[in-house]
Amino acid sequence: MADTMQFDLVAPERRLASLQASEVRIPGSEGDLTAMPDHAPLITTLRPGVLTVVGPEGEQKYVVTGGFAEISAEGTSVLAERAVPVAEMTGELMDEMIAEATSAVEEASADMRDALAKTAADFSSLRDVINV
């Protein structure tokens, strides 16, 4: 069994990371999960949360918003709608994201409201996790 796998984190505007990782912790919409080399093929959507990559240079953390992760035996790629390294995360940016998520709830149609409200709640709890 291989010790590492290819990991890519891409956002629409740029590629944030591409490295050999031994472990990736993903905030999946149905619960957190950890992908390691030779994981069974899986595609999951993301909820707003912290993505942790364990690579050769230690752990790296990124704040990701919605998107999805594609896990296969050879590697993991995460396509995040928005991804920011935790170190670059500021209070204002967080406020902005929360405000966006909250306003989306208000204008959403009834059947979408629950899902969006959950997203907004995820954002708010995210704020406590990363302490900004």
Q: Tell which one of 55, 61, 70, 121 touches another protein (CB under 8 A).
A: 70
Q: Tell which one of 37, 49, 67, 75 touches another protein (CB under 8 A).
A: 67
CB of 97 to another protein, least distance (A): 11
Angle (CA) 65 70 76, round 5°: 95
Q: Is 68 in the site for another protein (CB under 8 A)?
A: yes
Q: Which amino acid is at 109?
A: S
Instruction: Give just the sign of the alpha carbon dihedral 74, 19, 76, 24.
Output: positive
Q: If DSSP codes are grouped into helix, strand and coil, which group holds residue 119?
A: helix
Q: Tell which one of 36, 42, 86, 117 touches another protein (CB under 8 A).
A: 42
Q: Which stretch binds another protein (CB under 8 A): 27-35, 52-60, 86-94, 121-129?
A: 27-35
Q: Which stretch binds another protein (CB under 8 A): 50-58, 61-69, 85-93, 121-129?
A: 61-69
Residues 6+ apart with CB under 8 A from 77: 7, 8, 9, 10, 69, 70
Pairing of strands 58-64, 49-55: antiparallel
Q: Which residues bind another protein (CB under 8 A)?
A: 8, 10-15, 28-30, 40-45, 66-68, 70, 72, 77, 79, 81-82, 109
